[in-house]
Amino acid sequence: AQSVTQPDIHITVSEGASLELRCNYSYGATPYLFWYVQSPGQGLQLLLKYFSGDTLVQGIKGFEAEFKRSQSSFNLRKPSVHWSDAAEYFCAVIKAAGNKLTFGGGTRVLVKP
Amino acid sequence: NAGVTQTPKFQVLKTGQSMTLQCAQDMNHNSMYWYRQDPGMGLRLIYYSASEGTTDKGEVPNGYNVSRLNKREFSLRLESAAPSQTSVYFCASSEAGASYNEQFFGPGTRLTVL
């Protein structure tokens, strides 16, 4: 069975500092990979996705993610965080042959002034 | 263009009561989904509907039923609510076809079962 692991439950970062959120998946083939953000009290919004091609993917809100096949990872990064980036972030995968998202447990990001 | 809407936003039930969560999308999407969100577990798929007239079980279907009323609407029913169903429920929709099509999420329904 495929699974998605986000090792960090909480991360606290200072405003203006860089941010990296980790995501590892266990699946034989390369799945489709996604990062979603959930602001407090809101639904989920897609930040970016990867399914083929360039392994560095640019998304909305200044985020990027890098797919590393050898490490089965798809880590999310932002060079300089803003207070509005405080939210919960979810990594998710879809098997190549299906359409069902499997989510990681999420990482909650707190931004200090 | 409202996207995906869900009603109600909040609900408190007693054990054994029934209720239906409503979801509608105005993006002309073929596929719709119901998820539940629990702390530390991310979102888990309850049921989905690949197209109008079809529904399939997801990862955690027990205790739930769904109806794809038409292309716009996909409802989730709890026939006899249990405390274990206390959760936040999200509806989502996507275009059919490619697996990597973005899923658009509603704002969620926070359900408490006492």
Distance from CA of A20 to the nearest CA of B (A): 19
pLDDT in tens, A31-81: 889 999 999 888 899 999 998 888 999 999 999 999 999 999 999 999 999
DSSP 8-state assignment for residue B73: B
Residue predicted with more confidence, B50 or B13 = B13
For B57, phi then psi, to 5°, come to -75, 145
Q: How far does chain A reach from its first CA to its final CA, in angstroms?
A: 41
pLDDT in tens, B45-77: 999 998 888 999 999 999 999 999 899 999 999
Is B44 close to A95, i.e. CB distance below 8 A?
A: no
33-72 of B, contacting A, C-beta below 8 A: 33, 40-45, 48, 50, 58-59
d(CA A11, CA A19): 9
Within an 8 Å CB–CB cutoff, is residue B99 touching chain A? Answer: yes
Within an 8 Å CB–CB cutoff, is residue B73 touching chain A? Answer: no
Distance from CA of B23 to the nearest CA of A (A): 13
Task: Report the SS3 class of residue B69.
Answer: coil
